[in-house]
Structure 1
């Protein structure tokens, strides 16, 4: 009988300790939100682009580039999420295509809103040509929510 109380006490103590000291994995983004190719990332950044403005495009790309330089490409996971007019950055003919491709080669992810693409296709009869390195997500804002809920810091330069 005494051993049952002792074991129950140990169990309560273990649960209390686990709650007081969360596992390291709880501070990292949940599976599916972080870059699979960034297993050693310590910092997680989501950059929002929702404007069709060459200055803002350059600013978002500059922030991504500067953060990569600051932390090193293996220590930071960056995802640029575009929606609405912001998808212009990821059109195949965008003037910043080479910089986007360079950032992709350093592990930066670029997401394009599928809802925006669907709307453009419905309005014009043609789906926009998008950089093949961009990955289509169902909804850009939902992607930002998912990332922030999983430990990413959202920045809208």
Structure 2
């Protein structure tokens, strides 16, 4: 039985080794600037394509806060269509919206500001970036 367990263990390790390395990238957007938003999305697409081409995997999280939250607001986002397409094409990308910024924007507007369906709310964009870096994510700020 022990030999069987060792064989299963070695088989699993061999499968993991053959799958390539796993990478993690956090991309920071805090500006309401279409060029910055497009650059962030270009970075994400290029990183995903590169790692795919060498047989590695990558997880990408785009974290927005402050004026950058407009990236994830329908009707305000100059990159909404790109985000929708990328979310369908890349299963390894996610978009985080700062809850602190969202609350302030909603309060100022006097109503709840909707977010794109691709966005997930986090309590704080800055804290999310800290957590991702503590978890080994590379940090990119376009």
The bucket for the TM-score relative to the shorter chain is 0.7 to 0.9
Say which structure is richer in strand: 2
Displacement over 6 Å in runs of 4+? none
Change (3 A) 1:87 1:67: same
* Cα distance in 1, alignment partners of residues 116 and 25 from structure 2: 21
Q: Which has the larger radius of gyration?
A: 1
1:149 matches 2:134: yes
1:41–1:77 Cα contact (<8 Å) kept: no
- Unmatched 5+ stretches in structure 2: 1-18
- Equivalent residue runs for 1:57-136 within 5 Å: 57-72=37-52, 75-93=57-75, 94-105=77-88, 106-107=90-91, 108-136=93-121
Structure 1 segments unaligned to the other structure (5+ residues): 1-38
| Alpha carbons of structure 1 residues 56 and 123: separation in structure 2 relative to 1, 3 Å | same
Query: What per-residue deviation string (whole Å, max 9, x for no partner) do you get for residues 50-88 of structure 1?
Result: 000011011001000111111129701000000000011
In the alignment, the residues of structure 1 paired with residue 101 and residue 78 of structure 2 have an alpha-carbon distance, to the nearest angstrom, of: 20
Using the size of structure 2 for normalisation, the TM-score is 0.78
Deviation for aligned residue 1:124:
1.8
Question: Could you tell me whether the CA contact under 8 Å between 1:104 and 1:110 is conserved in 2?
Answer: no
Cα deviation for residue 41 of structure 1 reads: 6.1
Deviation at 1:122, TM superposition (A): 1.5
Change (3 A) 1:126 1:51: same
Partners of 2:39 and 2:60 in 1: CA distance? 14
Q: Aligned-residue CA RMSD in angstroms?
A: 2.0
1:44 paired with 2:24, answer yes
